[in-house]
Amino acid sequence: MGTVFSIDVRSGVSVAALDDVIAWLHWVDSTFSTYQPGSVVSRLSRGELTPDECPPEVREVLALVREASAKTDGYFTEAPHGILDPTGIVKGWAIERASDLLAAAGSSAHSVNGGGDVQLVGTVGPARPWRVGIAHPLRPRRLVAVVTAEDAAVATSGTAERGRHIVDPHRGAPPEGLASITVVGRRLAWVDAAATAAFAMGPERGLAWAEAQADLEALAVTTSGRTRQTSGFARWGTLT
């Protein structure tokens, strides 16, 4: 598995600040990896550590996981495969925090994209908001929509990843009917978790749930290639 992180800074920031962001992503990976037996999260899930013995960031993520689980009717879960695995929120949270690091270093305009989940700050230029292409889940190299936004977060959950099986925790099986769902909101940790949860819900429940969230909009692409969107999505996105 792998992810390329793209950081696009449109207002002055030092290379040192970028180095801090890279160091941060390294730290997050080594701390939260479920693939490294010696990581804090691996040891926590084996019961070798208590949450109080973990770095505060781990407790912060666990609290976010519980909050996301409560807000998504349990469709976002801390143990999607029966063992503690906060991975579903860690990437969005790490990108959001990376963006915060850049902002603290003086950048009022940047985007941070990790594997297709994006945190946007400010604008690209005067009167020029960010434009985020939404990859078509069924048509390689095509976009299904373009989201135009400033100070926003965009995350997409889909089926196209080997090794990532989003399971409906209430059925214990992958959901049916969705090729991908894109969620737009303000902060990526929540938006990322929401995209995971909405995908697990499937097309009907997922769209209805997103519609009921005041701070989120969503665009779904069904396995048959149909698009469906929440009533407010058009404020952000245009279908291509």
Partner 1 sequence: MRKAIYALLGTIAGLGGLLGLKANLAPADTTAQAAAPPPAAAVEPSADAAKQPAGQTAGQPAKTATGKESTNPYESVQVKVTVSGKKITKVEIAKFAPKDAQSKSIGGGALPKLQQATLAANSADVDTVSGATFTTKSYKESLQSALDQAGL
What is the separation, in whole angstroms, between the first and last Cα of the chain? Answer: 29
Q: Looking at beta carbons only, is 195 or 201 nearer to partner 1?
A: 195
Phi, psi at residue 42, to the nearest 5°? Answer: -65, -45
Choose among 218, 167, 211: nearest CA to 192: 218
HSE, CB side, 13 Å, CA atoms: give it for residue 160: 16
Vertex 219: Cα angle to 113 and 214 (nearest 5): 90
Q: How far is the CB of 29 from partner 1 (least distance, A)?
A: 5
Q: Looking at beta carbons only, is 52 or 187 nearer to partner 1?
A: 187
Q: How far is the CB of 21 from partner 1 (least distance, A)?
A: 8
Q: How far is the CB of 48 from partner 1 (least distance, A)?
A: 19
Q: How far is the CB of 70 from partner 1 (least distance, A)?
A: 21
Map tokens 């305009």 to a residue: 109
Is residue 92 within 8 Å of residue 5, measured between CB atoms? no
Q: How far is the CB of 181 from partner 1 (least distance, A)?
A: 9
Q: Looking at beta carbons only, is 59 or 142 nearer to partner 1?
A: 142
Residue 71 has a CB neighbour count (10 Å cut-off) of 16
Residue 162 DSSP one-character state: T
Q: How far is the CB of 211 from partner 1 (least distance, A)?
A: 20
Structure tokens at 101: 């690091």
Q: Looking at beta carbons only, is 52 or 174 nearer to partner 1?
A: 174
Structure tokens at 166: 């989003």
Q: Looking at beta carbons only, is 52 or 85 nearer to partner 1?
A: 85
Name the site residues for partner 1 (rule: CB under 8 A). 1-13, 15, 18, 22, 25-26, 28-30, 32-35, 85, 87-88, 90-91, 94, 111, 113-118, 124, 130-135, 137, 140-143, 146-147, 154-156, 158, 160-164, 180, 182
Q: Looking at beta carbons only, is 52 or 218 nearer to partner 1?
A: 218
Q: Looking at beta carbons only, is 135 or 201 nearer to partner 1?
A: 135
Vertex 61: Cα angle to 213 and 46 (nearest 5): 130
Distance CA 133, CA 176 (A): 25
Q: How far is the CB of 89 from partner 1 (least distance, A)?
A: 9
Collect all residues with Cβ–Cβ distance below 8 Å to 104 and sequence separation of at least 6: none
